[in-house]
Structure 1
Amino acid sequence: MTSEGDGVLRTQVAIIGAGPAGLLLSHLLGNAGVESVVVESRSQEYVAGRIRAGILEQSTVDLLRSAGLADRLSREGDQHRGIHLQWPHERHHLDFVDLTGRSVWVYGQTEVQKDLVAARTAAGQQVHYEVADTALHDLETDHPSVTFTDAEGRPRRVAADVVVGCDGSFGPSRAAVPDAVRRTWDRTYPYSWLGILADVAPSTDELIYAWHPDGFAMHSMRSSSVSRLYLQVPNGTDVATWSDDRIWDALATRLGHGQDGWELTPGPVTEKSVLPMRSYVQTPMRHGRLFLAGDAAHTVPPTGAKGLNLAVADVGLLAPALIDLLRKDDPRLADAYSETALRRVWRCTHFSWWMTTMLHTSGDPFDEQLQLSQLRWVTSSQAGATGLAENYAGLPIGF
């Protein structure tokens, strides 16, 4: 049981990061009787309000359902059969259900976070928000620990059997893997996304991914009354230089307003930001008694809708591994975790790169013709369409 004495918290698993990966892991562990303590550098309100992913693949939905976390998703989420791929004067629908028997769901990360917070609060999960100076210790022993300063300025220590880093790209967990064993692969793309949230009903039934000579555009959604849209922009773009009118004009052009009678309906913009595009993988995802999950180990560009889903897949593999390790003294799944997780990480990294390079313009006429050829193949070939659908709707966890 989690206990506290002499200013030290004692638990089985110390989880760094209270986003979806960290809270989902604590939930899955808790369902199996494994205790955990979660520490988070941000406030609960900040974590809950981060505007991130909005597409859940089939494997993610299946895991949330099996964990008892999908009641509201089933009521309020929007199941989609596929996506639209388009370029000037062409729009094609890829039906994932017909192609693979699997679908995706529109249900924002903010909503997933709400469900997780509610479930962990009801279970009495111990979460420390707004902590500072988080550090990891003794990871190569059987008694690792995490130290931090709590929101009241008091030094604290969590003594655990295992530490899990779910603290994203900038947390301390990633750097806790020694340089001597750590390998990294990195790709920075020469463009960014300008994303907006708008209080207007979506102008499309399913997501539109649009190639255009001016740059990529995407029409997504968060609900029946909130739209999420993106534009390809140069790196270093200042969002202040893009007025709402300029954004809607560019979206209308790139998404094909007026093409075959389709119209883009503008509305009040409630949030806008610029998102750089990056691929990053760090190995191994386990060092001693430290395990990494989600963005602490890997980052993908958002084009393939894989970031949140990949974090959930990591946790879906890690939870049973830790349960076997801590409850059965069986280390086999834990020992295989990094290798097993990385197979899916690299598959999703490749798919995200492939979608990104197929749809974003570089200004090179040769690249342009290659992209259009690839789009024509994907939308006219059963094999090409099935490959995209299989990866987008999500491979089984631990494939």
Structure 2
Amino acid sequence: MRTQVAIIGSGPSGLLLGQLLTDAGIDNVILERATQDYVLGRIRAGVLEEGMAGMLDEAGAGARMRREGLPHDGFDLTFSARHHRIDLFGLTGKHVIVYGQTEVTRDLMDRRAQTGGVTVYEAANVQPRDFDGAQPYVTYEQDGIEHRLYCDFIAGCDGYHGPSRKAVEGRGLETFERVYPFGWLGIVADVPPVSHELIYSNHPRGFALCSMRSNTRSRYYVQCALDEKVEEWPDERFWDEIRRRLPTETAEKMTTGPSIEKSIAPLRSFVAEPMRFGRLFLVGDAAHIVPPTGAKGLNLAASDVRYLFDGVREHYAEKSDAGIDVYSQRALRRVWKAERFSWWMTNTMHCFPEQGAFGQRIQEAELDYLAGSVAASTSLAENYVGLPY
């Protein structure tokens, strides 16, 4: 089998890239190790920057997001029993849209089916090969038979644990990592959100986040130790803890209920450089991870797709490799800015084991300064809504 672009991974970045290529008349095939139901069953974050929302529109997959997504013009910071609202729209003229990653994936899958895009599910032992030469290909297995997919380019949209980055280890790949000494315990519950906008809470007991998937489904998080187990957190304990980390008037308004999903996620910052190796390109989580504090993971994958799609389209339409040649530099410039912002949000809002009372006071002073400075609030807002591509 032959195609122009082989895409490894059918998460949002792989599907978005595939749809943009299909709509531009560029043939592509997506290879996915899991089943379609498994991919759709993953519950992930969903705060979309305007840039990503615009790309979903461009791909013909944005209609349901525009109908059902929740535009947010701001969010709340709470600290020292105080509230401070970051007026995203007032400070930047932009907003974000709360729309679950699962829904983004579903919309892109439906659009791909409508336009005849090819996705091979349950493709085992996927391996990119000969990407340093003129004729790269990808091998995979189905029903015990090995297949070869020849192509011009390979897009590694296969996540942190996928085969694409592993294939370039030892070829000049450099990695940078910061592992944080805590995780997020998150639950999903079919209860109305405590607020119509997100609440980020700094508290001496640890960070908390009040988010939502819809007007009837809430997503809440509390900072926890890495060695804690989900089984140690029955629903009642979780609800008691998150209310202790919120101002009294907010805690009293919170509606509780049984969780439908509960998990603990460690936090890390990670970047792999470069993001191009010959005709293989790393995209999204294959190249970088950010802590979820700044809501940047999914959006960074979208900006990677923007740069790679523009370069590939230019290659075929204009017979120029200028865009492809600068893909890694362009993507990494934006990646590191998002890494910086996510690192800053994480350091400002969380309790670190070594910080003590002095560190807590420093965080409170930082947040107090933020609340009283239009310049500081504007800097936060413009990073949160997303820097330009």
* TM-score scaled by length of structure 1: 0.95
> Which of 322, 325, 331 is the equivalent residue of 1:335?
325
The one-character-per-residue Cα deviations of 1:92-143 (angstroms, maximum 9, x if unpaired) are 1111000010100010000000100000011111111111111111111111
1:173/1:296 contact within 8 Å kept: yes
Distance 1:163 1:390 in 2: 33
The corresponding residue for 2:222 is 231
AA aligned opposite 1:339: Q
2:277 is the counterpart of 1:287: yes
What is the distance in 1 between the residues matched to 2:227 and 2:32?
A: 29
Q: Which structure 1 residue ranges, 4+ long, deviate > 3 Å from structure 2?
A: none
| Counterpart mapping for 1:287-326 below 5 A | 287-326=277-316
CA distance in 2, matches of 1:305, 1:155: 39
Residue 173 (structure 2) pairs with residue 187 (structure 1):
no
Structure 2 counterparts to residues 1-399 of structure 1, below 5 A: 9-150=1-142, 152-258=143-249, 263-363=253-353, 364-397=356-389
Q: Tell me by how many angstroms 1:207 deviates.
A: 0.1
SS at match of 1:51: coil
Partner Cα distance (1:275, 1:145) in 2: 35
> Displacement of 1:160 after TM fit?
0.3
Whether the 8 Å contact between 2:182 and 2:224 is mirrored in structure 1 is: yes
Residue pair 2:125, 2:141 contacting (<8 A) in 1 also? yes
Aligned-partner SS, 2:363 = helix
* Count of equivalent residues: 387
Alignment partners' CA distance in 1, 2:367 and 2:165: 37
Offset at residue 365 of structure 1 (A):
1.7
CA distance in structure 1 between the aligned counterparts of 2:108 and 2:64, rounded to whole angstroms:
11
Whether the 8 Å contact between 1:257 and 1:264 is mirrored in structure 2 is no
Distance in 1, matches of 2:248 and 2:287, equals: 40
The alignment-based identity, stated in percent, is 47
Kindly provide the amino acid, as one letter, of the partner of residue 130 in structure 2. D
Q: Deviation at 1:178?
A: 4.0
Q: Assess if the C-alpha contact under 8 Å between 1:218 and 1:255 holds in 2.
A: no
**TM-score normalised to the size of structure 2?**
0.98
SS in 2 for 1:10: coil
Indicate conservation of the 8 Å contact 2:183/2:224, yes or no.
Answer: yes
Say what the alpha-carbon RMSD is for the aligned residues.
1.1
Shift of 1:329: 2.0
Paired AA for residue 352 in structure 1 = S
Q: Which runs of 5+ in 2 are unaligned?
A: none
Indicate the SS of the match to 1:255.
coil
Structure 1 window deviating more from structure 2 (152-161 vs 287-296): it is 152-161
- Describe the superposition over 1:277-321 as per-residue Cα deviations: whole angstroms up to 9, x where unpaired: 000000110010001110000000000000000001110111010
- The residue matched to 2:326 in structure 1 has which SS? helix
Q: Does structure 1 conserve the Cα–Cα contact (< 8 Å) formed by 2:82 and 2:247?
A: no
Which residue type is aligned with residue 284 of structure 2?
Answer: G
User: Hey, what's the Cα distance between the residues in 1 that align with 2:364 and 2:154?
Assistant: 47
